[in-house]
A and B are shown apart, each in its own frame.
Chain A
């Protein structure tokens, strides 16, 4: 079939500008995007630079943006992207990292964050006589995170990293969970405190699911970040706005059956965080004014009426929470 690739090129030894180059080639129907790119490099244009190795979605070398999404080129069939023969496929290097040449990026951004989360076990206490024994169940829980092949696809497409370089980003946070979730590690609380309080930590994730979407190995990095948050709350890391936000949210639903937005903000940043609250005042007034009478009940605290079945909602809460308590005992 005819395959039409539109590849973003960058050569650091020329003038440093980027350009798109078109390659029209003939490939078998079942070709992957990587097959097509290798064909170009071998038979059409030897100057095209790309990184690949196993061609089987194991090594994680060939992550790049195909049709504006980070994917493994070896795991993406041409026909996954285009429905009509000859339709253009845009190929770009990964985002959120500097480009070395053409489709090859410098992944130091990613590795530095992996180092930041201390990616090795730190057992405490005296070592066991023989090997450490871990239950199957505990290992299954971290197995999802262990599946990560460090390809960088989620790092490439993370919208938070785009605007804040300090964000630890999905892959390294999933890696962090691999250790906080491992019963052999003795520094869980220390890790969770660091991950909660450091700049760019777990509470800066917006839960946008981009990493879940682009991950070729179903690591679901965002779900690991949510597990880290759950662990942080359970471990008693309480000084954080993110924790207070969650608590305030849940309490509001328990009280009313629904969310009370007007209380969520002050309760999240802290009732005594006066400078921060003052900063938000103009915004709050702006909103109340623009919506005028429609929202007047909101301006009065505690004016929300609970839903009719509120007693059932509260019962559900109490039951779930007492079960959780039992479980943690």
Chain B
């Protein structure tokens, strides 16, 4: 099992704990990753707002790099997945457009041919790896840990381009994974809503009200932590949580766990190596629940 690994900008920038935990967790699960060191940012939907054509070429470049490696592409970011699926749908559907984009890649010796498999790590786990195999790897049942799933918009919507017809349960995979490692999935109002991150610079109050409201709704349903496959959501939910708490005037203190960290804990990786001590909102309460304490 081997993939072309697109880590995204945030795991190599503001969320290094995601990158580290992904590398360790995949290795222990037996998923081989070949990193796309020369890949470029997907544009996160921001570049396409102003320069849609440019965003298409940038993404096609990544696809062609993965194809040159001869591997399916795996990403660890809901936003990357959404942008990649959106561009891919356009390229695969429209031959003329594809030719135009490919013309710009030719100079680098790259070409995108339709049909590349692009999967978020969450999809890989359920569809390629299998939950039964995952369960076999669990050495530390996360019994009693109550996790609120937080998907991130772009891995859920628009569903028509995200393979939901072929895989109708993709909007439920986080819950399935949480249960597979022995934890309890908590249902709450905000799980499929927006974390607010995209408008943090433009409208801080709205952005943080959204983050705060969703965290609070999970907390009210008894969640010990939130689990997310999206590092951009993580930025707003974790790094901005103290500010969000101020904005909505509520005490929050809910740890936000990256998906590979949750798996890493379950398959027995040292929490310190998973960088559980490198969050803005401390994760000790989570660790206390699932294992012996780790030094902060």
Contact (A307, B38) CB under 8 Å given A246-B46, A259-B9: yes
Bound: A226/B203 CA distance, A: 17
Q: At the interface, yes or no: B104 with Cβ under 8 Å from chain A? A: yes
Flag if B201 contacts A241 (CB, 8 Å). yes
> Among A207, A252, A264, A309, which residue has its beta carbon within 8 angstroms of that of B201?
A264
Chain A positions within 8 Å of B198 at CB level: 206-207
Q: How far is the CA of A319 from the CA of B57 in the complex (A)?
A: 10
- B49 at interface by CB-CB < 8 Å: yes
B25 to chain A, nearest CB (A): 17
Do A245 and B46 form a contact, CB below 8 Å, given A160-B206, A208-B194, A253-B41? yes
CA distance A324 to B54 in the complex (A): 10
Q: Is A209 in the interface zone, CB < 8 Å from B?
A: yes
User: Does A295 count as interface, using CB distance less than 8 angstroms?
Assistant: yes
The answer to whether A295 touches B14, judged by C-beta atoms less than 8 angstroms apart, is yes
Interface status of B172 (Cβ within 8 A of chain A): no
Interface of B is mostly: helix
How distant is the Cα of A257 from the Cα of B53 in the complex, in angstroms?
Answer: 16
* Docked pose: A268 CA to B157 CA in angstroms: 26
Q: Which residues of B are found within 8 Å of A279, using beta-carbon distances?
A: 204
Which of B136-144, B237-245, B266-274 lies at the binding interface? Answer: B237-245
Assuming the contacts A246-B46, A253-B41, asked whether A320 and B53 have C-beta atoms less than 8 A apart, the reply is yes
Our pick among B17, B209, B239 for the contact of A283 (Cβ within 8 Å) is B239
Q: Is B39 an interface residue (CB 8 A)?
A: yes
Give per-residue flags for A280-306: 1 if the beta carbon is below 8 A from chain B beta carbons, else 0: 000100110011101100100000000
Distance between B273 CB and nearest chain A CB, rounded to angstroms: 12
| Nearest opposing residue in chain A for B56, CB measure | A320
Listed stretches A1-9, A102-110, A148-156, A310-318; interface member: A310-318
Q: Which size bracket describes the interface of A in this complex?
A: 35 or more
A177 contacts the other chain (CB 8 A): no
A97 on the B face (CB < 8 A)? no
Question: Are A226 and B201 neighbours in the complex by a CB distance under 8 Å?
Answer: no
Q: Does B193 belong to the interface (CB within 8 Å)?
A: yes
Flag whether B135 is at the interface (Cβ < 8 A): no
Q: Is the CB of A313 within 8 A of B201?
A: no
Please pick, from A246, A287, A313, the residue contacting B14 in the complex, using a CB distance under 8 A: A287
By a CB distance below 8 angstroms, the chain B residues around A269 are 201
Given contacts A294-B275, A295-B14, A307-B38, contact A250 B209 (CB under 8 A): no
Task: Determine whether the beta carbon of A159 is less than 8 Å from that of B202.
Answer: no
CA distance A99 to B161 in the complex (A): 34
Q: Is A29 an interface residue (CB 8 A)?
A: no
| Chain A residues with CB below 8 A from B167, complex form | none
For B38, the chain A residues whose CB sits under 8 A away are 307-309
Decide yes or no whether B250 CB sits under 8 A from chain A. no
Bits for B178-204, please: 1 = Cβ < 8 Å to A, else 0: 000000000000000110111101111
On whether A290 and B50 interact (CB within 8 A), knowing A204-B202, A283-B240, the answer reads no
Please name all residues of chain A whose beta carbon is closer than 8 Å to the beta carbon of B107 when the two chains form the complex: 312, 315
Partner of A213, one of B39, B48, B50, B159: B159
Please give me the residue from chain B that is nearest to A268 by CB atom. B201
Contact A259:B41 (CB < 8 A) given known A159-B194, A249-B46: yes
Q: Kindly state whether residue A265 has any CB partner on chain B within 8 Å.
A: yes
A146 CB within 8 Å of chain B: no
**How far apart sit A241 and B203, CA to CA, in the bound complex (Å)?**
9
Q: How far in angstroms is the closest Cβ of chain B from A199?
A: 10
Task: Name A204's contact: one of B39, B206, B242, B275 (CB within 8 Å).
Answer: B206
Whether B51 lies near A321 (C-beta < 8 A) is yes
Residue contact A203 to B199, C-beta cutoff 8 Å: yes
Chain B residues in 8 Å Cβ range of A259: 9-10, 13, 41, 44
Docked CA distance A160–B204 (Å): 12
Q: Taking the complex as formed, is A229 at the interface, i.e. its CB lies under 8 A from any CB of chain B? A: yes
> Interface 1/0s, chain A 214-233, versus B by CB < 8 A?
00000010000010011001
Cβ of B75 under 8 Å from chain A: no
Residues of B within 8 A of A212 (CB): 157-158
Cβ contact within 8 Å between A261 and B193: no
- Nearest 6 pairs of A and B residues by beta carbon: A209-B157, A208-B194, A268-B201, A259-B9, A320-B54, A294-B16
Q: A230-B49, A253-B41, A253-B47 are in contact. List 11 more A-B contacts (CB 8 A).
A: A203-B199, A209-B153, A213-B159, A240-B202, A246-B49, A250-B46, A258-B13, A260-B13, A291-B16, A307-B40, A313-B61
19 contacts between A and B (CB under 8 A): A163-B209, A164-B206, A164-B209, A245-B202, A246-B46, A249-B44, A252-B41, A258-B12, A258-B40, A258-B41, A265-B201, A268-B201, A286-B242, A290-B239, A291-B17, A294-B275, A313-B40, A320-B53, A324-B53
